Structure 1
Amino acid sequence: MAACDSPGMSRIPLLRRPDPHGHAKVSFVELFFDLVFVFAVTQLSHTLIGHFAHDGVTLRGAAQTGFLMLAVWWVWIFTSWVTNWLDPERLPVRLCLFAMMLAGLLMSVSLPEAFGERALMFALSFTALQVGRTLFFLWAARGADLALVRNFQRIGAWLSVSAALWIAGALHEDLRVPLWVVALGIEVIGPSAGFFVPGLGRSTTADWNVSGGHLAERCALFVIIALGESLLVTGATFAAAPLTPMSLLAFLVSFAGSLALWWLYFDTTNDFATGRITHSDDPGRLARLAYTYIHLPIVAGIIVNAAADEFVLAHPDGHTDLKTALCLLGGVGLYAVGVGLFKRAVVGHWPWSHGVAVLVLAAAGPFVQAWPPVATSAFACAVLVALAAWERRSRAQCLVPDSATEDSDPSIGP
């Protein structure tokens, strides 16, 4: 995360040339790289389903899955920052991304047993991605301006410390959880701390002069990946289930819920946020907060909701058990909070419609266990649809562009 508009940068063959419009093109090789994370997202939802199906609703299972979600997201978002500066049309950059795809596949394969027998595979593939990508960037940016090199030297120092803890945790089962919590904590805190290293100083968001439109598009595409996995779970579970009126109804409700999730993000928020970061005087600050940190609950909400869809499609009638209720109401609630925080970051105020939606979901919690799962799913879907409709109707008031970007931001009219 460093400056990319210095005069010397265009002479470095492996770095992108600064885009005058602030929106560098997303390349096909970046999209190809993202396919690995389709599998990773599927593994995460199946890991959550497996924990709840075999162990019941436990804090341990939910915490482990949430931890792995954060780790997977952190690999992907750091790579998206790096490809904001590297030119993916150059052969060495492509080869690096292909090598990272292999490491990403190994990491994804290990996810269900990451805290068990495949801990070392997970730790080695994860650290190879994080440290290897940083070392490659330092090689690719040789001869670039000092601010760029210094920034990635700081990042490399932080990731090297966390890598040692990841591997130590994989080798020592009794210490695995505390060591891994500290390791991931180091990586998550790093951007907020400016990757401070004694002797190398601290990075500032002014140094992270990213192509805002590129990063916004990359994050939107990851949301599409998560939604696609949700549809995949819905279709596969429905195909394997007996065809009954209740299973058909559950399928239709799940599909409608996926549409509402898409609508809430892409119809009311994404275009405006892209315009805001593209024309921001400090795109690095907005990229760090709105896209690096706040997109995690958005993606996590979709993954949890995908697990809920599988539970409902497998048993659409009867009573809503605890795991189904938590995934249905919790997944939608987490998504609503994430999108609300995203709007807060790019607009400057919290959309109170999202707070109302979360309160409605929470208020229904004590009652849904008496409902059939398909009815609980329909209720959560109805809350999403109502929220999306509310936001579409009121977005002209909620998303008011400031005077500095009034002429260049996308339209937000009704």
Structure 2
Amino acid sequence: MSRVSAETQPQEETEYRVSTLELFFDLVFVFTITQLTGTLADDTSPLGFGQIVIMLFVILWMYFGYVWLTNAVAPDTTVRRLLLMVGMGGFLVIALAIPNAFEAAGPAFGIGYLIVNLVHSGLFISAGGPGSAAAMARLAPFNLGSAALVLVGGFMPSTWRAVAWTAAVVLMVASPYVNRRHGEFRIRPAHFVERHGLVVIVALGESIIAIGIGAAGLPLGLDLVIAALLGLTLVYQLWWCYFGRAQDTRAEHSLAAMPAPERARAALSAFGWAHAPMLLGVVVVAVGVKKTIGHATDHLYLSGALALGGGAALFLIGQVVFRALLRIGTVKWRVIAVVASLATVPIGLWLAIAQVAALVLVFGALLVVEDKLRA
């Protein structure tokens, strides 16, 4: 086979399953999502939402970076496991700092983020294999540059801190396009897809926790039970949108069929950029559910109604992009569902539980229509 034709063939990689250490690593991400949700629930103003978006994107860049790391470097030696634990410790510091990250805990957030970056770059470059290690060596200066912005910003006043951290996000987003050699990363499709699916499961789990937190200390009446069950149904429907009809398996097959450079670009776009609004949407929905549980028969304030309708819409937007990039399903009905989700906001301003019920109907209709069309 000629060199040109060989380069266009999908690259066969030795597959392995997600390890129990990676699942243990995800426990910190559970706490991170809990902290982000709680912080947003305490301050649903535009400023509070903006701060959550900045922190989430900063955290997701490196959290997804660790997914790429363990996809290339199996945590199968003592040194690798210990370094992953150091990175886990850095993420824990970041999570602890989230509620006051724009106040006194800014330096801790920056220091934790620098630790996470140093472990990621060092382990990737030293053990990632010829192609991935070389690609990471060119990407590491951008990652460390963004980490420096986060660290320095942590010592600045809150306004300048937001500017520095936003600049870090811009640098992260721009880095794969400034350094166009990211196609050299080797992707193991089965592990990669499973790992991102587990991240989504972790985020959805926070929505279940939000139901329990919202119900804490309240009398267990019929309205509370109905609101909780509707919230659970909505979370299940989000799960079905992501995993139903073997969408994750189809995503894996789509990645596996691609040549190596295209596979890496698709992994960045579909599992990076598309997953960010999905995860943000889950966090925002969790806030809306939490506020609804305690006020099921009351009206929601605009912030709470927007959290429910807007969070569902954000999740669906990520789904539309994800499916379109991997060409694994139609997107027409999910686009319509985005509009329908936003249209439920006025319902929440009238009655909280009615908006959750309306969203359950929107997602139920979406899934039924797609199921019939696929059949």
Normalised by the size of structure 2, how large is the TM-score? 0.91
> What secondary structure, in the 3-state scheme, does the structure 2 residue paired with 1:171 have?
coil
Compared CA separation, residues 237 and 59, structure 1 to 2 (3 A):
closer
Quick one: distance in 2 between partners of 1:21 and 1:82? 15
Deviation string 1:128-166 (CA, Å, 9 cap, x unpaired) is 10133102332335xx53x44432221221122222222
State the shift of 1:325 in Å: 0.6
1:70 aligns with 57
2:134 aligns with 150
Q: How does 1:35-74 map to 2 (within 5 A)?
A: 35-52=27-44, 58-74=45-61
8 Å Cα contact 2:313/2:337 also seen in 1:
yes
Compared CA separation, residues 70 and 304, structure 1 to 2 (3 A):
same
State the shift of 1:348 in Å: 7.2
> What secondary structure, in the 3-state scheme, does the structure 2 residue paired with 1:243 have?
coil
What is the aligned counterpart of 2:312 among 310, 326, 332?
332
What is the aligned counterpart of 2:177 among 188, 192, 205?
192
What is the aligned counterpart of 1:181 among 157, 166, 186?
166
Q: Is the counterpart of residue 235 in structure 1 residue 235 in structure 2?
A: no
2:271 aligns with 291
Q: Is the counterpart of residue 267 in structure 1 residue 254 in structure 2?
A: no
1:124 aligns with 111
2:5 aligns with none
What is the aligned counterpart of 1:376 among 329, 332, 355?
355
2:85 aligns with 98
Tell me which amino acid in the other structure corresponds to 2:220: L
Normalised by the size of structure 1, how large is the TM-score? 0.83
Quick one: distance in 2 between partners of 1:169 and 1:211? 36
8 Å Cα contact 1:341/1:350 also seen in 2:
no
8 Å Cα contact 1:237/1:313 also seen in 2:
yes
Higher helix share: 2
2:255 aligns with 277
8 Å Cα contact 2:254/2:328 also seen in 1:
no
Tell me which amino acid in the other structure corresponds to 1:51: D
Q: Is the counterpart of residue 353 in structure 1 residue 330 in structure 2?
A: no
State the shift of 1:319 in Å: 1.6
Quick one: distance in 2 between partners of 1:343 and 1:150? 30
Deviation string 1:11-40 (CA, Å, 9 cap, x unpaired) is xxxxxxxx9566432111111111110000
State the shift of 1:127 in Å: 1.7
Tell me which amino acid in the other structure corresponds to 1:250: A
Compared CA separation, residues 140 and 367, structure 1 to 2 (3 A):
closer
Unaligned runs of 5+ in 1: 1-18, 53-57, 195-201, 397-413
2:367 aligns with 388
> What secondary structure, in the 3-state scheme, does the structure 1 residue paired with 2:154 have?
helix
Tell me which amino acid in the other structure corresponds to 1:111: I
State the shift of 1:303 in Å: 1.1
Q: Is the counterpart of residue 323 in structure 1 residue 303 in structure 2?
A: yes
> What secondary structure, in the 3-state scheme, does the structure 2 residue paired with 1:115 have?
coil
> What secondary structure, in the 3-state scheme, does the structure 2 residue paired with 1:311 have?
helix
8 Å Cα contact 2:347/2:355 also seen in 1:
no
State the shift of 1:350 in Å: 5.6
Compared CA separation, residues 121 and 188, structure 1 to 2 (3 A):
same
> What secondary structure, in the 3-state scheme, does the structure 1 residue paired with 2:72 have?
coil
Tell me which amino acid in the other structure corresponds to 2:302: L
State the shift of 1:369 in Å: 1.4
Tell me which amino acid in the other structure corresponds to 2:369: W
8 Å Cα contact 2:125/2:134 also seen in 1:
no
Q: How does 1:239-258 map to 2 (within 5 A)?
A: 239-258=216-235
State the shift of 1:213 in Å: 1.6
2:3 aligns with none
State the shift of 1:225 in Å: 0.4
Quick one: distance in 2 between partners of 1:41 and 1:290? 21
Quick one: distance in 1 between partners of 2:344 and 2:134? 52
Tell me which amino acid in the other structure corresponds to 1:274: E
Tell me which amino acid in the other structure corresponds to 1:256: T
Tell me which amino acid in the other structure corresponds to 2:51: Q
Deviation string 1:78-115 (CA, Å, 9 cap, x unpaired) is 00001111121111110111111111111100011111
Quick one: distance in 1 between partners of 2:280 and 2:370? 21
Q: Is the counterpart of residue 311 in structure 1 residue 302 in structure 2?
A: no
Quick one: distance in 1 between partners of 2:13 and 2:138? 29
Deviation string 1:177-211 (CA, Å, 9 cap, x unpaired) is 211111121122212333xxxxxxx4142x12211
Quick one: distance in 2 between partners of 1:161 and 1:74? 13
> What secondary structure, in the 3-state scheme, does the structure 2 residue paired with 1:172 have?
coil
1:163 aligns with 147
Superposed structure 1 runs of 4+ greater than 6 Å apart: none
> What secondary structure, in the 3-state scheme, does the structure 2 residue paired with 1:88 have?
coil
Quick one: distance in 1 between partners of 2:296 and 2:58? 33
Tell me which amino acid in the other structure corresponds to 1:374: I
Unaligned runs of 5+ in 2: 1-10
> What secondary structure, in the 3-state scheme, does the structure 2 residue paired with 1:24 have?
coil
